[in-house]
Amino acid sequence: VLLFEAPGLFVTKKEIKPSDFNSPIQITLYTNTKNLEEVQVLSTRSFEQTTSATTINRTDLIEKNNFGQDIPTLLEASPSVVTTSDAGTGIGYSGIRIRGVDASRINVTINGIPVNDPESHDVYWVNMPDLASSIESMQVQRGVGSSTNGAAAFGASLNIKSQDISSVAFGVLDNTYGSFNTLKTTIKAGTGLINNKFSLETRLSRITSDGFIDRATSDLRSYYLAASYVGKKSVLKALTFSGKEITYQSWYGLPEYLLEEDRTYNAYTYENEVDDYQQDHYQLHWNQKINNYWSARIGLNYTYGRGYFEQYKENQSFSDYDLNDLIIGDTTINETDLIRRRWLDNRFYVVTTSISHTKKDLAMSIGSSFSLYDGDHFGEIIWAQYASDSKINDKYYEGNGEKLELNIFTKATYKLNEKLSIYGDLQFRIIDYKTSGLTSDRVNMLINEKYNFFNPKAGFTYEFNDGNSLYISYARANREPSRSDFESNVNIKSEQLNDFELGWRHNSSKLSLSTNFYYMLYNEQLVLSGKIDDVGSPIRENIGKSYRFGLEVDANIRLLNNLSFHPNVTISTNKNKNTFSEINGNLLNLKETDISFSPNLIASNNFIFHPSQSFQISLLSKYVGSQFMSNTNSVVSKLDSYFVNDLSVIYQLKPKTIFKSVVFSVLINNIFGINYVSNGYYYTYDDTWSSPGEITTVEGAGYYPQATTNFLMGVTFKF
C-alpha cells in the first residue's frame, strides 16, 4: 500500500498489486475541505503569530465536557472567566464574564457571522441549546483582540466554528441523565463526502431539566443541518440551526435572609410564568481558493427570532395599560389583576466578505460586513380580572428598533526576519440606530443616533528561539450603548477603550506556558450598576475614567506520560477613578472604588490522569475571589469568594460490533457540596417615612445560588 499526500490535499491510499507493475498507475488527490473551510473564520480569528491572549478549545475537548450545559459552562476552565446560571445548573439562562466584563460586551461570532443581538448586545445561549454538539472549535481572544464582525469586543471575543465537513459517513447517539431530572438526547449523522463532492450532516437535540432553583425548568429543543458541495478549489456550504426554549422564570434570585433557610426559593408561583422563544439561523458560505496564496469568502446570514415571556401581575393600574377606568354604579374600578405577554419579533440580515493572502512572511486579510436589524417590541394582555375596554389581541405598547451597520477592516502580520513579526489592524464601524414607538413602560422612545468608530490595533512578536516568544500590542475600541442603556438613561454615552497587552509564551515537550499582562484604560465604560430591571436584566451606567490591570498565567504541564495538569490564574485590580453616589440625600464622591463584578483573583486547575488510552479521570478546581455587585464598595453588595471542584470520568470501549466506539462518562459537579453564589444584584432606596423629616438610604441585595453536589452521566454510541 502506498500513501500519496500533498499540502492542502487529502492523503490517498493506493494498493499496488503485482499485475499493476507493468502499467501506468493513476492517482487522484482531492482537495482537503477542512483547509478550505478555514477560510471562513480566518478573517475573524487571530493569526498564528497572535499578539493577543488567546485560548482555543477543539472538538475533542468540547465533546468530553458536553453534557448539555450551555457554552459559558464549557468555558469555565478558561483564564479570567466567571460563569453564572439563573437555574443554578448551567442549563437555561446562563451568563459569562471575562476580565470582569459582562456578556453584552463580549463579541461572539459563528463562522464569522455576528451573534450578539444588535439591540441588547447580549447572546442568549438558551436560544441555541446543545450548540456544542455541532462545534469544531472555539477561540477566545481576551481584551480587544483581532477585528471581527459585529460590535466591538470590550472584554473578549469568542469565535465559534461549526463542524467541519466529514470525509466519512458517521452516526452518533448521545444520551445524558443527571440530577434535577436533567435529560439530554442528541442524534447526529452525516453522509461523508459522496463522490468526493457532496455531504449532508444533521443533528437533533432535546434537553430538559427541573433546575436547582424551584420551578426553574427548561425544555430546550434544537436542530442543525448542513449541506456542502466541494469543488477543486471551492467549498459551498449551507447550514441552518435553530433553538426553541421554554424556561420557567427565575430572574429575581432570592433575598439574603433566605440564603440559609431556602436556597432554592423562587419568587414566581404562577404556573405559566415562562419565557417562550424560538430563534432560527440560516447561513450560506462560499469559500474559494484563488491560488496557492489567495483565498476569498462570502457569507450570508438570516436570523429570525420571535417569542414572549408571560407574567401574572397583581393590582395593575388601568392607566399603565392605556385602559379606561371601569364604572359600575357608584363604584369606580381602576386596577386589575392580569396576565400579560411581552413580545420580541426580530429579523437580522448579514453579508460578510473577506479576502486573505498567505505567503511565506506575510499573512493578511481584508474583510467587511453589512448588517440590518429590524426588531418589534410589543405587549398584550391575554387575561384580566377586569377587562375594561380592551379587546382580544390589543397591544398596550408597540415599539420598533432598526439598526444598520457597516464594518470594514484590514489586518496583516509580516515577518521582518527570523525572529521579529509585526502586526497591524485597522477597523471602521459605521452605525445608524433608530427607534420609534413606546417602551414596555409606555414611554416614548425616539432615538436617532449615528456613530463612526475607528479602531486601530498594532503589535509585534519576537521569537527568541523555537520555544520562547514575546509579544506586545496596543488596541483601540469604541462601542455604542444598547437599547436598554438608552431606556435607563437617554443621555447615555458610547464607551472607549485603550488596551495594552504584553505577553510571553513558552513551549516545550513538558510545558506550555502563556503569561500575559494587560492594562485596559476606559473612558465612559458602561459597567454593571448592580441594579436589575423588572425582568431581571442588569442595568449599566457610564462611570467616566476607569481601568483594569492584571496578570494572566495559563499553563499545560506534563508531569508523566499519563498525568498532566492545566492551571491558570488571573490577578487583577479593577478601579473606577471617581465614583459619585447619593447617600442619605447627599451626593458624595467616593473617589477610587472597585468596578462591580470584577474579582481580583480568578484561578482554575484541571488535573488529567490517563490510566490507559481509553480511560481518563480529571479534577477541575475553580476559585473566584470576592467581588462587589455595586461600584460603591458597599459591604452589603459584596459576594463572597468560592472554591468549587468537579470530577469527571470517561471510559471508551471499541467493541467489534456495529459501533466504532461506546463512550461512558460521568461528571460530578461541586463534589464537596459547597454553598456558593456566583451572581446577584444590589439596590438602594430612600426611606423618608420611618423618621419624618429625615432621609435614610436603605441597602439590599439579591442572590443567585448555584447547585450543591450534583451529577450528570452519559453514554455515547458512535457508528
Cα–Cα nearest to 142, from 235, 209, 51, 10: 51
Residue 48: pLDDT above 50?
A: no
Residue 537: pLDDT band (50, 70, 90) is confident
| Minimum mean pLDDT range among 250-254, 550-554, 604-608 | 250-254
Note the pLDDT tens digit of each residue in 402-460: 999 999 999 999 999 999 999 999 999 999 999 999 999 999 999 999 999 999 999 99
Note the pLDDT tens digit of each residue in 131-174: 999 999 999 999 998 888 888 788 899 999 999 999 999 999 99
Rg over alpha carbons for the chain, rounded to the nearest Å, is 27
CA of residue 349 relative to chain centroid, distance: 20
Residue 46 has what pLDDT?
55
Between β-strands 156-162 and 106-110, what pairing exists: parallel, antiparallel or unpaired? parallel
Residue 21: pLDDT band (50, 70, 90) is low
Residue 534: pLDDT band (50, 70, 90) is confident
Residue 76 has what pLDDT?
93
Burial class (CB in 10 A: 0-12, 13-18, 19+), 531: middle
Top pLDDT among 647 and 35 is at 647
Distance CA 404, CA 464 (A): 46
- The residue behind cell 479576502 is 355
Distance CA 431, CA 236 (A): 30
Top pLDDT among 585 and 661 is at 661
pTM comes to 0.91
Distance CA 198, CA 123 (A): 33
Cβ-based neighbour number of residue 491 at 10 Å: 6
Cα–Cα nearest to 375, from 120, 149, 124: 120
Note the pLDDT tens digit of each residue in 180-209: 999 999 999 999 999 999 999 999 999 999
CB-CB contact of 285 with 279 (8 Å): no
Cite the beta strand spans of 150-232 per DSSP E. Answer: 156-162, 170-178, 182-190, 198-209, 218-230
- Percent of the chain past pLDDT 70, that is, above it, reads 92
Residue 391 has what pLDDT?
85
